[in-house]
Structure 1
Amino acid sequence: MFKSEKPSVRLPRLYKIAALIAKEYSEGLGSIKQLVYEKRKKHPRIKSLFALVSVLYQRKDEIEHLLKKTQLLDKESRIDPWVIKILVTELLYGKKTLSGQTRIEQTIKGYEQMFKAHLSDVIEAPVKEETVSTKPKYVRVNTLKKTVGEAIDAFRDEEWILIKHSDKNDYNGFVEKVAALKDGEFMVDMHVPSLLIFPSKTHFYNHQAYKNATIVLQDKASCLPVHLLAPCPGSTVLDMCAAPGMKTTQLAAALENQGVIYAVERDAKRAGILKGIVGGSGATCVKVINKDVLQCNGKEFPGVEYILVDPSCSGSGKERRLLEKIENSS
């Protein structure tokens, strides 16, 4: 008889998926929350995934410092660098331990004392919880599917309380009311009419309105370019940096699905994400073009009246994506 070999122990899937999310986030393929939620079928522990990737980016400078000092990426070049970063995050800032059942984990654990020695070189700037907790949660109503009034009524039916601010000239008063929002309360933004504001700890990822794209999780900073552009229904718009698609679908809502939006994205994977978001939103006036817009000419976009040039790096809450956490992460 042949002697059966003990099957090799594989790296926990949590770390593999977290590494993939961290990589995709670095490539601008979406926010951490979006990417985690997209991967929920590959790994159901979304809180753990979110916590790992969030902490990695919160501690990015420290981790890069340690990797440089130890030359870990060069010495262990056969290991996916994003897996290394995730395991270092877990070892130093997460559970602060690794099972050591796989060769990769054993390798990273072997650097633990070196990591701790080099950490003394770093002047730590701790993440302030209040910085995260005071940021409101913005939700844009997808008016292609429901009016703002209908959305407000729907939230009221769920026993949310609408806090009104009628004085359009009193911005300071508006800011104070937003800062004072309590659990169960929400407001309408005074600048972007389709934008609703909720307390910072409100989560919508399991809410039916989010799942069916009636509402979109989109920060105010991301909503302003389209709001200021204000294209008229029936017009032709060129969205030069379209992926992942939040502003593209906002443009479609502004056009009331009348007219044409040329949504250009040069990266094939991002273009695929763009098509998915556009399709789910109910936007029928969008033509997704997978091409480098700098290599295009005017004949490819006839009749353009408005142009939106807003790279995704300035979009839906860059600061929030670096600081965002999930409550009670496991």
Structure 2
Amino acid sequence: MSLYYDAAAVLTATEQGGSLKSRIYGHQIELKSAPAQVYALISETAKYDRFLKEVVDNAGLLVHEPKLTPLLALFFAHDHLFSRKGIAAPSAHPLRQAIERHKARLQAEFTRGRLRRKCASLDDLKQQLLAEKPPTSRSQPRWVRINTLKSSLEQELATTFKAYRTDSNVAEVSSLLGSEKVLAIDHTIPDLIALPPEADVTKTQSYKDGRVILQDKASCFPACMLIGDDDEAGTVRDCIDGCAAPGNKTSHLAALLAEHVSTKNKVYACERDPSRSKILKAMMVKSGAKTVIVQSECDFLTLDPYAAQYQDVTHVLLDPSCSGSGIVGREDIPILALPDDCKATQRQTQNGSASSKKRKRDHVAPIPVAIAMEESAQAEETREVAVDKTRLQKLSNLQTRIVEHALSFPATVQVSYSTCSVHIEENEAVVARVLASAIAKELGWKLLGREGQVKGLRSWPHRGVSSADLMASKAIDGNSMLNEEELESCIRCNPGDEEGTMGFFVCCFTRSAPAAKDAAPSDDSWDGFSD
């Protein structure tokens, strides 16, 4: 029974920011139910909320059962009508009994709604409802990376995706609804495919075995940028993933090392949060990334660059905490179309005038609770705008410190930096501040130019913002400006465009292999991290 209360708490907790997954899995709200079940209930209900509202309103459920709230009614109706397992509550629970008392009326309205849409089956109805629902944002494909530590693209196309048509493109795949068996093989990132937005591979054996991994295309860029597609120069030895959990980029890094470099190179994965460390460990086991050494509850900033175990670290991957402003699509908090709140309508009627008490309920214009929720969300968003710049500056300072710390590892020659943010403050401004820092200048760090990037990323069309936009943002001062070549070295992914990715930023700092005498910076040339 707590499942429904937990789901309601997630959607109504206006104090909690972030995406749906961050609310559920981020331990900001105490949940009694399994997070995966809460996420599934909310996301599945959001697909059919308008139809469920129609059924509940037409059945008069909230008129007859005043103890039910509109949100709980929607969740209960979903599981009663759409879930194979039915309502996840004891048969003696009062709210379940409230639904059971009206199951005949609910089923009748459900059938009428299905027949009005000329749907012969439940599956037909689901597909029709998905087509009816206006998208809240441009549909994104569901990106799936083939884990080459355990499988190959050829093997998965011959097994898991055997029934799929493979001659599609991202635009076509993104526009498909339902369970169409169509995929697009990506031409930017090897071993990556795009499926229709509603495709579900989590029930396949390949997903359960870790042979395929759900990972947005943009988040595959950092490991590709860092390792490239060969190691002819023999520069790659050990690596560090400084901000590793949940581990998709870490396992991708391990896979690229095994494919292009060696199966013996170690990857030190740092994660300071205890619960996320557990997720990271589980991900490494599932993906078969045996060369990854998970450093649990370890803050990357506390690592000693001159410790013996890191003397062979040549490459560092950094994807630090950010605003998450580039995350779009299924990660957004859904605003559900709720059944009419009869209690709220009754209160409005009672407060109107003495004579209004005698009016029939049907003559009172109902006030959709969804509108109130939207207004509350808009008010919260307006309140957050005022502190947004302060938060961005704090994030930018932390991100700069993390990158500068990575540059201090004595054998390191390449450091990738990425965020799932669209803000200049967290992207180009951080890069500019790092390049202007004392440690970057002393040790000869610069940006990996476009011509030196791996083939797929070299041809990526979206680069850093223009010099005019960078200056207009006021995110940097005149001492840390990026030139045109440096801006061209940065890569951006834009949410909502034809590429089908979330908003993302990535670049790579590089330098020549240091000589022995360059093992440590001089004491008087670098005074620590940026503030």
Q: Give the TM-score category using the shorter length.
A: 0.5 to 0.7
- Of the three residues 312, 323, 329, the one matched with 2:332 is 323
Of structures 1 and 2, the one with the larger relative CO (CA 8 A, separation 6+) is 1
Paired residues for 1:1-330 under 5 Å? 12-15=1-4, 18=7, 47-51=40-44, 91=69, 93=71, 95=73, 129-131=134-136, 134-157=139-162, 159-163=163-167, 174-179=169-174, 183-230=180-227, 235-256=237-258, 257-289=263-295, 290-298=297-305, 299=307, 300-311=309-320, 318-323=327-332
Q: Secondary structure at the match of 1:269?
A: helix
For the Cα contact (< 8 Å) 1:32–1:53, is it kept in 2? no
Q: 1:94 to 1:226 in 2, by over 3 A?
A: farther
Query: Which TM-score applies when normalising by structure 2?
Result: 0.39
Offset at residue 291 of structure 1 (A): 1.1
Q: Distance in 1 between matches of 2:301 and 2:35?
A: 36
Specify the structure having the higher radius of gyration (Cα): 2
Q: Distance in 1 between matches of 2:304 and 2:19?
A: 26
State the Cα deviation string for residues 115-135 of structure 1 (Å, max 9, x = none).
xxxxxxxxxxxxx73245721
Counterpart Cα distance in 2 of 1:311 and 1:260: 21
Cα deviation 1:55-109 (Å, max 9, x = unaligned): 9xxxxxxxxxxxxxxxxxxxxxxxxxxxxxxxxxx9455536999969xxxxxxx
Q: Is the 8 A contact 2:272 2:298 kept in 1?
A: yes
Deviations 1:129-165 (A, max 9, x none): 32457211110111100011111222443x111116x
Q: TM-score, normalised by structure 1?
A: 0.60
Offset of residue 239 of structure 1: 0.5
1:142-197 deviation per Cα after TM superposition (whole angstroms, max 9, x unaligned): 1100011111222443x111116xxxxxxxxx554444557111011111111111
Question: Any conservation in 1 of the 2:6–2:33 contact (CA below 8 Å)?
Answer: no
**Distance in 2 (alpha carbons) for counterparts of 1:193 and 1:214:** 15
User: 1:229 deviation in Å?
Assistant: 1.5
Amino acid at match of 2:140: K
> Could you tell me how far 1:273 is from its partner in structure 2?
0.9
* 3-state DSSP of counterpart to 2:316: strand
In structure 2, stretches of 5+ residues that fail to align are 27-31, 49-67, 77-88, 96-132, 335-531
Q: Distance in 1 between matches of 2:139 and 2:35?
A: 32
RMSD of the TM alignment (CA)?
4.1
Letter in 1 for 2:211: T
In 2, distance between residues paired with 1:224 and 1:142?
15
Q: Is the 8 A contact 2:170 2:194 kept in 1?
A: no
Shift of 1:261: 0.5
Instruction: Mark the CA change 1:30 to 1:322 in structure 2 (over 3 Å): closer, same or farther.
Output: closer
Distance, in Å, in 2 between the alignment partners of 1:203 and 1:133 is 19
Contact 1:244 1:312 in 2 (8 A): no
Equivalent residue letter for 1:48: L
Once the two structures are TM-superposed, the CA of residue 212 in structure 1 deviates from its matched residue by: 0.9
Corresponding pairs, count: 240
Taking the aligned partners of 2:323 and 2:255, their CA distance within structure 1 comes to 21
Contact 1:189-1:195 at 8 Å conserved across structures: yes
Cα distance, 1:30 vs structure 2: 6.1
How far did residue 15 of structure 1 move? 3.7
